[in-house]
Chains A and B, each alone.
Chain A
Amino acid sequence: MDFSSFNPMVLAAALMVAATPILLAAIGELVVERSGVLNLGVEGMMITGAVVGFTAAVTTGNPYLGMLAAMAGGAALSLIFGVLTQLLKANQVASGLALTLFGLGFSALLGQGYAGVVPPRTAKLDLGLLSDIPVLGPILFRHDPMVYVSVAIVVAVWFWLTYTRSGRILRAVGENHDAAHALGYRVLRVRILAIMFGGACAGMGGAYLSLIRVPQWTEGMTAGIGWIALALVVFASWRPVRAMLGAYLFGGILVLQLNLQAAGIRIPAEYLAMSPYLITILVLVIMSSGRARKSLAAPGSLGKPFHAAG
């Protein structure tokens, strides 16, 4: 074994990059679930975002236009889910699964001819003095802008849900849609907007993967992290900051096991590859195992279809 390649600072810096796609997808899904909708199509929206963002960035030569296109793509795909489940009252679980399958197939189709293409580079942000701080500088302040965008979204969502009136309305709709309707709130409109926000975030997360983290397009490249994002939301008890901690934990172990593999550790690569999923879920289960607290946290109307009665 060769541990000479181990550099905790590089590891810590890589962690944030590895965690960002999951974080983006999870925060979007968190808003969706807080509004009372369970969208299992995160994986499909991520991979669609990945391919749409990739093709748009390659075509225009601008990675940020690619990000915007990915958001639009993810939101458009989620709108299909929104129409099916909210307007046509289709089953949310089945529609979400269908969305994932559709997204995986559709992205493979769109991505034909883009395999092996190199996308335009996204510059790392130079934060001047901050980036020059020893240790903290390279870990925290020498990333691409999207890392900071994702953190900003988490903080904004937390603030919005906790302190603003519209955030309160979203929580109310998710908690008890009949009561929200009785008070005159537009349940379906709130939910469709939330679903589209979730789609845009998942799309952005996917594009982050194909444009910055890898950066390349390959079929099925999301490799199940959409599902991890979904699990993250539940085990984070629907709280934004906890979801961020979970995402960084996952990212950290992901990077660590890659480094261990590179160092040639004598554990089969398959075990290492499954470890981030296993450990993240384990830690989150333990964190959320407080009995009463868990039942309090789940939005009361989660996954239930809303029918406006008379």
Chain B
Amino acid sequence: MTEPLLSIEGLTKAYPGVIANSDVSFSIGKGEIHALLGENGAGKSTLVKAVYGLLRPDSGQMLWRGQPYAPAAPTQARQAGVAMVFQHFSLFDALDVAENVALGMDRPPPIRKLAARIREVSTAYGLPLDPSRLVGELSAGERQRVEIVRCLLQDPHLLIMDEPTSVLTPQEVDILFRTLRQLRSEGRSILYISHKLEEIRALCETATVLRHGEVVARCDPREQTARALAEMMVGTALHRPERPAHKPGRVLLEVRDLNLRSPYAFGTSLKDVSLTVQAGEILGIGGVAGNGQDELLAGLSGELRSRADAVRVKGDPAGDKGPTARRALGLLCAPEERLGHAAAPDMNLTENALLTGAWREKLVRRGFIDAGRARAFAERIIRRFDVRTPGPHVAARALSGGNLQKFVIGREILQRPEVLVVNQPTWGVDASAAAAIRQALMDLAQNGAAVVVISQDLDEILEVADTFAALNGGRLSAARPVKGLTMEAIGLMLGGAEGDSDAAA
């Protein structure tokens, strides 16, 4: 490797109140898979947006094959040969695959020719796609294929991938890695952004670690342990949550043959879902996004009602009850979407605390809000769960994702639930906050509650759960003890119905 493909020198970008990137320098060689490591908010996304022309750095410069490079728009970046696969897919649900691909190209050929090209390229890289399907009907893995194929059709020299594996099954990750290695062997470079350390160790030959917007380390990840990489990222030694194994208790939550039709567009209906959770047990439910997680949460929380005996809490039929009645029984939930589902964005933290805590915490008396108690409850959540905010008068929208997540999980835990259901409890939360949330869930189970953790992060499930079940196409597998479960076995459980998931959709 002589001249680097892209070098970044002293790049700085500040937002009001935050320095996102401070004097960042590194370079990417030809045919290199370069990892960009860092926690949420470390400045990874800002950096790649500058490379892709979505924002302009305040100072510093970039060199592309030795020439000054300052793209003013993504079009210019694409012309230079930079392509990007976004973390939150930049896809249009109501358009078909070919149209989506065409929108990402500067001079797309006619749709019919493009469709043929899509078939050709996607098969050549082992990512088969049907160009005429609506993107809204595709699984997360297939959506990512659309993004990747869209990039590949432009014959890029540098492919930027922002957290590409967060929504994939282990098998899908393997396919992706095979594709990426094939791209490397063709002399293309890849800038790979992730905080999953094992992946980076398996795939990348160089890594740049960012913390608070600064480059804190450069290394060859193959020569480092995952723990060493994590500590570079976080800057301190990591505390791993722990607890003793659970002892069987009485069944607190029982679901029998729950069938629910999905009310959401592109949703997945639940089919004959059955599960039981005992006191002190944490049941982890894995699965790729869009396989019925939202529907399962809604069915358990009471947002979607069913037959009375389909859901039993402590033996009492609760399937026909709404969320408030189920809360009274001791079944509490924290949904995935923080803004708009778990919390009302424009209401302050006191009001948000009131929204679910009003009854169990007796924050309402004779129809009037007890302002003092409500504020005290919000303050208790903030203190106990280390929510970084000036106070309970702040609007939920103003909190960072991780802090709001701590707040909404804390709000439910402090109401002493007997059954707690959480969906994606640590999504988009940095490592130390995630550890705190997991510890809190474990403590809750330790004190005798039954906990259901729905998550797409398998590492998280393996860390906290006693039993594991997989959700696929709206069906839930039988639960198995986590102890002794291999990644292979989990992958098979997750993808076990891979073949008929299309028919079910």
Do the two chains bind?
Answer: yes
Instruction: Please list the residues of chain A having a beta carbon within 8 angstroms of any beta carbon in chain B.
Output: 165, 168-169, 171-172, 175-176, 178-180, 182-185, 292, 295-297, 299-300, 310
Q: Is the CB of A172 within 8 A of B108?
A: no
Q: Which of B49, B104, B265 has the most CB of A within 10 A?
A: B265
> Across the two chains, which residue of chain B brings its CB closest to A186?
B73
Asked, given contacts A171-B95, A172-B95, A184-B75, whether A295 binds B90 with beta carbons under 8 Å apart, the answer is no
How far apart are the CA atoms of A182 and B75 in the complex, in Å?
Answer: 10
How far apart are the CA atoms of A76 and B108 in the complex, in Å?
Answer: 34
- Chain B residues with Cβ below 8 Å from A172 are 92, 95, 103
Asked, given contacts A168-B103, A184-B74, whether A175 binds B93 with beta carbons under 8 Å apart, the answer is yes
Q: Is the CB of B74 within 8 A of A295?
A: no
Q: Is the CB of A310 within 8 A of B89?
A: no
Q: Which of A184, A185, A296 has the most CB of B within 10 A?
A: A184
> With an 8 A cutoff between CB atoms, is B15 at the interface?
yes
- Chain A residues with Cβ below 8 Å from B265 are 292, 295-296
CB distance from A30 to the nearest CB of B (A): 15
How far apart are the CA atoms of A179 and B92 in the complex, in Å?
Answer: 7
What are 24 A-B pairs with beta-carbon distances under 8 A?
A168-B99, A168-B102, A168-B103, A171-B92, A171-B95, A172-B92, A176-B91, A176-B92, A176-B93, A179-B86, A179-B89, A179-B91, A182-B54, A183-B104, A184-B54, A184-B73, A185-B103, A295-B265, A296-B94, A300-B93, A310-B20, A310-B46, A310-B49, A310-B54
Q: Is the CB of A168 within 8 A of B55?
A: no
Q: Is the CB of B103 within 8 A of A310?
A: no
> Across the two chains, which residue of chain B brings its CB closest to A292?
B265
- Chain B residues with Cβ below 8 Å from A165 are 102, 108
A176-B92, A179-B89 given. 17 additional CB < 8 A pairs? A168-B103, A169-B103, A172-B92, A172-B95, A172-B103, A175-B92, A175-B95, A178-B90, A179-B86, A179-B91, A182-B54, A184-B78, A292-B265, A297-B94, A299-B94, A300-B93, A310-B54
Q: Is the CB of A183 within 8 A of B93?
A: no
CB distance from A37 to the nearest CB of B (A): 17
A-contacting residues, B99-157, CB 8 Å: 99, 102-104, 108, 136
> With an 8 A cutoff between CB atoms, is B425 at the interface?
no
Q: Is the CB of A183 within 8 A of B94?
A: no
How far apart are the CA atoms of A82 and B473 in the complex, in Å?
Answer: 43
> Across the two chains, which residue of chain A brings its CB closest to B265?
A295
CB distance from A250 to the nearest CB of B (A): 27
Q: Is the CB of B49 within 8 A of A300?
A: no
How far apart are the CA atoms of A183 and B55 in the complex, in Å?
Answer: 13
> Across the two chains, which residue of chain A brings its CB closest to B13?
A310
> With an 8 A cutoff between CB atoms, is B474 at the interface?
no
> Across the two chains, which residue of chain B brings its CB closest to A173?
B92
How far apart are the CA atoms of A178 and B54 in the complex, in Å?
Answer: 12
**Other-chain contact of B74, A175, A183, A299, A300 (Cβ < 8 Å):** A183
- Chain B residues with Cβ below 8 Å from A292 are 265
> With an 8 A cutoff between CB atoms, is B330 at the interface?
no
How far apart are the CA atoms of A184 and B15 in the complex, in Å?
Answer: 21
> With an 8 A cutoff between CB atoms, is B53 at the interface?
yes
The 5 closest A-B pairs by CB, nearest first: A184-B74, A179-B90, A295-B265, A175-B92, A182-B90
Q: Is the CB of A168 within 8 A of B95?
A: yes
- Chain A residues with Cβ below 8 Å from B108 are 165
How far apart are the CA atoms of A292 and B78 in the complex, in Å?
Answer: 37
Asked, given contacts A165-B108, A168-B102, A183-B74, whether A310 binds B55 with beta carbons under 8 Å apart, the answer is yes
CB distance from A147 to the nearest CB of B (A): 32
How far apart are the CA atoms of A168 and B265 in the complex, in Å?
Answer: 22
Residue-wise, chain B 71-89 has the 8 Å CB interface mask toward A (1 for contact) of: 0011100100000001011
Q: Is the CB of B90 within 8 A of A183?
A: yes
CB distance from B192 to the nearest CB of A (A): 19
How far apart are the CA atoms of A185 and B73 in the complex, in Å?
Answer: 9
How far apart are the CA atoms of A182 and B88 in the complex, in Å?
Answer: 10
> Across the two chains, which residue of chain A brings its CB closest to B90?
A179
Q: Is the CB of B89 within 8 A of A184?
A: no
- Chain A residues with Cβ below 8 Å from B104 are 183
CB distance from A165 to the nearest CB of B (A): 7
- Chain B residues with Cβ below 8 Å from A179 are 86, 89-92
Q: Which of A169, A183, A296, A299 has the most CB of B within 10 A?
A: A183
- Chain A residues with Cβ below 8 Å from B15 are 310
How far apart are the CA atoms of A150 and B89 in the complex, in Å?
Answer: 39
Residue-wise, chain B 13-55 has the 8 Å CB interface mask toward A (1 for contact) of: 0010000100000000000000000000000001001000111
> Across the two chains, which residue of chain B brings its CB closest to A184?
B74
CB distance from B135 to the nearest CB of A (A): 10
How far apart are the CA atoms of A165 and B93 in the complex, in Å?
Answer: 17
A-contacting residues, B381-421, CB 8 Å: none
How far apart are the CA atoms of A180 and B74 in the complex, in Å?
Answer: 11
CB distance from B290 to the nearest CB of A (A): 15
Asked, given contacts A168-B99, A175-B93, whether A184 binds B53 with beta carbons under 8 Å apart, the answer is yes
> Across the two chains, which residue of chain A brings its CB closest to B84?
A182
CB distance from B437 to the nearest CB of A (A): 26
> Across the two chains, which residue of chain B brings its CB closest to A238?
B94
How far apart are the CA atoms of A310 and B265 in the complex, in Å?
Answer: 29
Q: Is the CB of A300 within 8 A of B54?
A: no
How far apart are the CA atoms of A183 and B92 in the complex, in Å?
Answer: 11
How far apart are the CA atoms of A171 and B20 in the complex, in Å?
Answer: 33
- Chain B residues with Cβ below 8 Å from A169 are 103
CB distance from A207 to the nearest CB of B (A): 34
CB distance from A35 to the nearest CB of B (A): 13
**Other-chain contact of A296, B20, B75, B88, B136 (Cβ < 8 Å):** B136
> Across the two chains, which residue of chain A brings its CB closest to B262?
A292
CB distance from B140 to the nearest CB of A (A): 15
- Chain B residues with Cβ below 8 Å from A185 are 103
How far apart are the CA atoms of A59 and B99 in the complex, in Å?
Answer: 48
> Across the two chains, which residue of chain B brings its CB closest to A176?
B92
How far apart are the CA atoms of A171 and B136 in the complex, in Å?
Answer: 15
- Chain B residues with Cβ below 8 Å from A182 are 54, 74, 86, 90
CB distance from A300 to the nearest CB of B (A): 6
CB distance from A105 to the nearest CB of B (A): 33
**Other-chain contact of B94, A175, A178, A310 (Cβ < 8 Å):** A175
CB distance from A291 to the nearest CB of B (A): 9
How far apart are the CA atoms of A163 and B85 in the complex, in Å?
Answer: 26
How far apart are the CA atoms of A98 and B103 in the complex, in Å?
Answer: 35
How far apart are the CA atoms of A172 and B105 in the complex, in Å?
Answer: 13
How far apart are the CA atoms of A295 and B46 in the complex, in Å?
Answer: 34
Q: Which of B75, B90, B92 has the most CB of A within 10 A?
A: B92
How far apart are the CA atoms of A185 and B92 in the complex, in Å?
Answer: 13
CB distance from A177 to the nearest CB of B (A): 10
- Chain B residues with Cβ below 8 Å from A184 are 53-54, 73-75, 78
How far apart are the CA atoms of A184 and B103 in the complex, in Å?
Answer: 10
How far apart are the CA atoms of A292 and B137 in the complex, in Å?
Answer: 12
> Across the two chains, which residue of chain A brings its CB closest to B137?
A296
How far apart are the CA atoms of A266 and B53 in the complex, in Å?
Answer: 70
CB distance from B263 to the nearest CB of A (A): 9
How far apart are the CA atoms of A296 and B94 in the complex, in Å?
Answer: 7
CB distance from B53 to the nearest CB of A (A): 7
- Chain A residues with Cβ below 8 Å from B75 are 184
How far apart are the CA atoms of A295 and B137 in the complex, in Å?
Answer: 13
- Chain B residues with Cβ below 8 Å from A175 are 92-95
- Chain A residues with Cβ below 8 Å from B55 are 310
How far apart are the CA atoms of A161 and B54 in the complex, in Å?
Answer: 27
